Each structure stands twice: as structure tokens, then as C-alpha cells.
Structure 1
Amino acid sequence: MNAAIYVRVSTDQQAEKGYSIATQLAACRKCACELGATTIEEYVDDGYSAEFIERPNLTKLRKAVKAKEFDLVVFYDPDRMARNLLHQLIIAEEIDKSGAELKFVIVNYDQSPDGRFMFGIRGLLAQLEKEKIKERTMRGKRGKAAKGMVISDTKPFGYRYDAVKSSYAINENEANIVRMIFNFIVINKMGTARICKELNARGIPSPRAKKYWIVSSIYRILTNTLYKGTIYSMRYRYEKIGLHKKKRTLRPESEWIPIPVPAIIDEVTWQAAQKQLQENKDFAKRNSKRDYLLNGLVTCARCGRAMVISHSGCKEHISYYACLSQKSASYAYSGQESCTARQVPTKVLDEYVFNYLLEFYHNPDTLTEHIQAVPEGKDLQQHKAALAQMGNVETELIKQKDTVLRWFRQKMLTENDAESQLQDIGRQLADIAQMKKTYQTELATIAPARSTAEIAAAIKTSFNKGNFTDEEKRVAVRAIIDRVIIERVDNTRGRGSCPQINVQLRLK
């Protein structure tokens, strides 16, 4: 009698519970020999979950069964075959159709209707137990995260794991490198590739003792909220879609669980780094087929959207700054109306802006006039207005608190009523304080305006040349300008037309 035995184990924990490969093989061999097997072929899947039917050696066994190579197939128990009831029934039916006998070491199985029914019940119970294990595991992780404990150590650069507290502690040697990386991008305005090159040139050790720093490692550090003091648990949902394959989807932000950790850099520095990363992306040469002086800086005054490079279809290949809503397919298919702002030739606007800045260099008085004439940015105005409003509310709440205390002293309120009102006012004051802190942090990241003297010094440094190459012009302009807001106001058309443009420069 030719027999096949199949054994499987997915984790070390199962080995501890008596499901080790050696234990299963010994029991299955004994069972096969007792049933009269003369030859035994073994199929072993070590480190594979029973959740999926596609397992290397199980697949080989099923092919051999279909070829009717065996008279007997032995499993230790149905869980080793599969945990999914449907998978168990498929494999059992394949064995039955081949004419072979199916046996389990610790479970009785027969091919009668009652036997198949009990086999199905056991499969359902195994599947239920699997779901209960997953639910208990997830509940335990949520509970641990809710207590502010790190669920698993991902070995982040700059930290060491404290197993006793289930938290991270700062590794000062690595933390100094993290601070250096943030200084490179925030202060020196370096890109990730240049930071990578600088660290390698200095011989600074990389994460996990790799030979060189790579760009992706720099980017992960710069975008990880861990370094400003917060990591998020339950941020992603993982779903198995095949053997050793998982699908990761982002959960709604309301489901994320924040876990506080010691911060290596402050909130303002982290936000400044995110802004610089976005600027680097906007101005990257690879994102533009040609170098344009103001590419990535121009905003439509009519709708507030960015203006992108557009090209004419004529032989001269004239280029324009055009509103994004007129060129982006996402706007065309979304049903939104396109902006009616007219295109502006890149050559006209580039020359105008560069000469305007050059005038600041030659005549500093015009810089003062410009700064006085330009209002603060919209975001800056909104944040200042919100902070002022919160200050007024805070003042009013403090007055209410004083009134409650006065009424209590005058015995116009009972102790319980006074305590209740004071607690309510205290909660509102705490909420206001938290909101003010958030707005003040954001306000510090909205490109705080430099003084006239600082801007003049930057212009003097950037424009202290006789002749500029195109690249030198780009560098000089980006050192001074944060945003160029434009609108074309003339009605002239044709190649010989002279466009009239309202231009508003936002200086850094």
C-alpha cells in the first residue's frame, strides 16, 4: 500500500504546543504503518499558515492524489490540512474521488453521511477558533495602544526599545544624526539626495548598520511623526490576499490611536521640513521638461489654484502659465467648471518678475514700498484672526469664573452648583488652551515674514552678479519669492498682442 503523509507548522508557538514537525511525522508514520502502508512519501510545509490552500508541498500532494499515486493519505488532524472549512472539504473530496483513504491521527473520519457531517462541524469550529484568536489579538493590541504602550518594536533610528515600559527611549548618538538631517533640509534647504550624499561623505553610520545611506531612508525619517513625539497605532488595516501576501489599506484617521514618545525634534521644525519637502518636489527638475524661472511658484488670482506650464501647438512652441483647472484631466472629469483666467506667456512673466527683483537690488527704497503695499497672506490673516477670537473667548470665560466664585462667596450659589459650573468653565479653558497651542504652532510654520532688512540682505546676496545664467536666475528668485499671484486683464489676442498683467509678489 502506497501512503502519503502531510504535516505543517506555521509558528514556533505551535511547536511548543505539540504540533512540531517531528511530532507530527512520528505520529503519522505510526498511523500509516498500522494501516498496512509499505511505502510512505512525506510532504512537509514548514512555516506556512493553514489560512490559504496554496502551499508548496500541499499543492504537490494534491497533484499526486489526482494522479492516483496513493492508496492512503494521512494528516495529523484537520487543522494541519486547513482551517477554512471550504478548503478542508475540497481536499477531502479530491482524496475520496481518487479512491484513496483519508485518515487523521487524532480524529476519526469516515466517508458516511454522518462522518462527513461531523467532519464539517469540526471544520466550522476550527474556523471559528481562528476568528476568535484574531479578534482577541486585535483587542489586546488596541488595549495596549490605548494605554500609551508601543505594540511592537520596529527599531526606529534614533530610539531604543524599553521592553519593561513598552515604549521608546532616545538613543542620543543616533538622535543627533536625526537632528542633523532635519537641520540639513530646514536650514540648509538640501534635498534628500544631497543629504544622503553629505552623510555618506562624512562617514556617518546609517540605520541598521547598512553600508550607505539611501534616499528612501532619509525620506522616511523626515516624514515620520515619531520624531516629533507621536506614533500612531491601528493606522493601517492588513488583509491576507494570498500566500505570504498582504494588502495594506489606510484606516480612517478617527480609528488611529496616538501613542506619545519622547520627541527628538519640535513640531515647528517637523512642519518646516514637510513644507520644504513639498517645495523640493514642486521645483524638482525631473518634474519639468524645461527649466522655467517661476515654475511651481505661480498662482491664479481668480481661483487660487496653481498655474502650470502649457505649450502652444505652433512651430515656435510658445509656452504659457495656465490655470491648473484648464489643463488637469481631474477637473475635466469631475464636472467642475474651469477657471476663465487667461494664459500668460512664460517669457513675459519671467522677465517682468526678474527685473522687478533686480530693481529692489539697485533701488532698495522700492522694496520698502512693496512690503508696505502687500497685505499679509490669507492663511496668516486667518490664523491671527482665530487666535484673537480665542483670546476674547478665554477672557470672557475667566470673567465667568470670577463671577461664579463671587456668587459662591456671597452664598448666591450652592457648593455643588459652583463646583459644577467651575468644572465646565475649566474644561472650556483647557480646550481653548489646546486650540491656541495648535494654532500658534501652525502660525510659526506659515513662512513668518522676514524684516525688510533681512529681505534686503537676501536680495543683495542673491543678485550681486553682473550676468546670470538661467540656473542662477532660478536660484536667486527662489531665495526671495514664496508665491507669484497673477491675473491677465487685457482683451488683446494674437501674436503681436502685449499682455497686461496684474502681479502680486509674496516674498519669503
Structure 2
Amino acid sequence: MKTAAIYTRVSSDQQKDKKTIGSQVDELLHFAQEQGYLVPEEYIFRDEGYSGAILVRPGLERVRDLSAEGQIQAVLIYSPDRLSRNYAYQVVLMDEFASCGTEVLFINSPKADTPEEALLLQFQGMIAEYERAIIKERSRRGKRFKAKSGVVSVLCGAPYGYNYIKKTDDTSAYYEINEQEASVVREMFRMYTEDFCGIGTVARKFTSEKIPTRKNIGKWERSVIWAMLRNPAYCGKACYGKTEHAERQRITKPLRAQGGFVAQSGCNREKPREEWIEIAVPAIISQETFDIAQERLKNNKLHSQRNTKVETLLQGMMVCSECGYSLYRTHTTTSAKKKIYYYRCFGSDAYRFEGVRKCNCKPIRQDYLDNIVWQQLVALLEEPKLIQREVEKRVEETKKASPVIKQKEIIVKQRTKLLQSMDKLLDAYQEGLITIVQLRKRMPDLQKRINTIDKELESLKNHELALDQRLQLLDAESFTSQLGLNVKQLDIKEKKKILRLLVKEVVVGDDIIDIKHSIPLKEAKNEKNSKSYQLCTRSNISVTK
């Protein structure tokens, strides 16, 4: 029995919500059974919410890979427009499947003209479109294959902190750490992750110290710092295929000023992280430092001052237990012209979802909820031993799972391979396989790379010592004792800082407020199960830790 794959696609979110893709799968499975094809469950691919005008789709990419590997003998598709709405793309895909010996079967071919007739009607334009499409697609697929093979040349240069070494007859292209620039990168991440400096502060410091940029421009822009902080190459994972071209879906303020029209209707958008192709490069910082930077970037985006008109304690930390949407701050005005502020769930606003509410969560008084959460946090801070025990536990885990150790192992292996390469060159020279000129040409490059690795090892040792020193300074008892004396004098900004250190999120429901802490609270049980009538009328609200 022949093996086949099923490919289905819907382009709009409305089709996705109505589950029209399920009907395609049912008919294709019935057709496969009639024709005698075996379709494994993992060979059913669904591209939900992808336009037929684009060629790069996750499900279609997997089908093409299976065809190229010879894993399938046929591809079953509901209709040609499900494969692509661009005729040139259809021809490219059909030719590719045919060259791999894979048959393409449509169960509901359109009643319009055949592809041959359409080609005759628009002969010149279609041929030109086909040529452009096939050249573009071959180039993209070739780059994708090279990226999967770990070839650095597909990345089009090296970021700040690296030198791009072009390929030669003997070696492929690779990244080499530029120590002068790498020290700037390490300082940037240290300021952002350890000193908690803002992006603007980092940019102003580098500009005032006249540190040269890659283009030797005196001023460091915030966008450059932001992009560098998000670049995974600095932790040893340069990525290919991070963005894709898509249709513009948002009409921004500059576009509205132009009447909502722009000549270039497309835009670049970031692809999901799991679709990026990682290429190993020398690391400048540890994976732990990079993860901390990403977490801080995420939190800063959520709690950004530009998104805040009035400071609130729980801004960006509340989640609806019913629908999963966040809560925002709104108000109502009484007859005495007094404003009463509430937290309201986004999912309860029908106008945001085409007239259909996602949940029935009731608004909650801001002052009541802020006070309850803060009082629970103050009660937690009165138990410093619990916090100190958790700190000591995390210190031990940090030492055991330190990325510095793993990074040292990788670098030591790289150094061993380079030393083996040098030994092989010397053996080849002694046996007369290479000349002294060839030996002198290749040996300095290897020695230079070994020297660079030795500097990285020395840097990792210093980082490891600095980490041990920082961990020894952690003392929860002194922090909580000082905080207890000034807890009533804290302003809203200081309270928010403490809250974000100890609380992950606050889940709000109709009858419960669940405060999810950053540390386990097995000893802090809510024995009294105290009730609160303040959050909404005619109901009892229990507050849990």
C-alpha cells in the first residue's frame, strides 16, 4: 500500500474558528481510503491562518521535506487553490513533487480553465512570473538547507562583537570574536541584567564614553541596543529565518496621516521562535545572562511607562481565570462627579470581539484589590526565614546548573579539536604530504583561534568567580527587616518593584483571587480562609496565597 500525506489550508481566522479545515481532512481521508493510500496520523498537515499567496508555510514545508526524502508517494489536496493561489507557485510545487516521484491528487478541481489554457491566455506574464518564482524559491531553499547544515555564510555578515571571516579553499566561513567589541557587548548585558539600567541609560553611557559603533558613528541609538539585547548569537546561537514578509495588517499613525495608503503594502514580521534555525557560533555571554535579558525585555514591554497614564500597583500582572485575557484599568463617574476606578477584563468587552463576549467576568474595584494583594505580600515578608530558605535553595541550583560550566566544556572540546588539527598538519608535513609553505599558511590561523579560545576560557573563569561572590551577598533577613520599618512610607513605584520581585501574576475570578508567588508557600496556609465582600456586591470573595 502506498503512503500519502494530506495537506490542508485555510487563510482567515474566521475559517479557522469555524473549523472548515476539519471538513477538508475528513473528505481527504475518505478519498485516501477509496484510492488505497495509507495516511499516518503524523502525515496530516494543517496550515491554519496562512494565505495562499505565500509559499513559506510550516505544513507545506514539511510535506516538501517528506517528498524530497522519499517518504511519501502521493500528496492529497482538496483543491489547487489550497496548494497555492499563485499559478506560478503551483507550477513550481508540481514540478518539484514530480521530480521527487510524488504524485499530487486533487479531489475537487476547479471548473474553470485548465492550467494549460490559463498558461496560453497569459503566456508571457506567466512564464516571467514562473521564472522569478522558481529562482527565488531555489535560493530560499538553498539558504535554508545551508542554515540547517550550520553554514554561517547565509547570515549575511556578523553582528557587533564578531568579525566575519570569509570562506577559503580550506575552511568555510565562520565568526571570530572581536575582543574589543565583545567587551562592550558584555558590559551592555551586565548593565541591563545586573545593574537594571534602562536601554536609554546604556545608550547614553556608550555615547558619552565615545565608544565607536560598528559604522563608527558617535551616537548609540536605543533601537541598536534593543536589537543587540535580543540577538541570540551572543549566547552562541545565531539564528536564520527570524522574520518573514507578510501583508500589512495594521494601519499605523503615519499611514493614517497619508490617508491610509502606502505604496509598499507589505511588512516584515517575526516568525515563531521554534521556526528559527540555529547556527552554532562562539558565545560572548552565557545562556543564563541572555535569558535574564529576554525576561526583562518582556516585562519592560508589559510594564512600559509609555503604556501607563496613571500608576497602579497591579498593572500588567492580572489575568482572568475564565478567558485568560488580561485586565485593564477603567472608571465610572458617580452623580457627585467622583471617579471610581475598576479593573475590567478585556474578554468581557463585546465590541472587541465582533459583538460576542469571551467571558462574563465582573469589574473589580481597583483600590480594594490593590489593598488585598499588598496586605498579603506584607504578611509574606514577615516570614524572612521562608524567603531565605528559598534563596539558599536557588543559589544551590544556580551553582549546579550554571551555564558557565557547560560553556567551558564546549570551548574545551573546540580547543581539543584545534590542537588535533595542528597535530595532523605537522604529521602531514613530516610525511611529505604538504610543503612548508602550506604549513606556514595554515598554522597561524589555527594558533590564532586557539589564542581566542584561551581568552574566552579566562573570561569564563572570571565570570564564575564573580557569580560566586554575588550569590554570597544574598541575605533575605536584612532586606525584610529594613523593609518592615518603612513599609508604610513606600510610594506606588517602590511597591510595584517589590511586588514584581515576589509575585508572578494575579489570577482574578468571580469568587477567588489567586496570587501566584515566585516562591512556594507550603508553610503559609490560609487557615482562616478569610472572606471579603469588597470586590463585587452580593458575593463572597476568598483570598488565597
Give me the TM-score of the superposition, normalised by structure 2: 0.46
Give me the TM-score of the superposition, normalised by structure 1: 0.49
Higher Cα Rg: structure 1 or 2?
Answer: 1
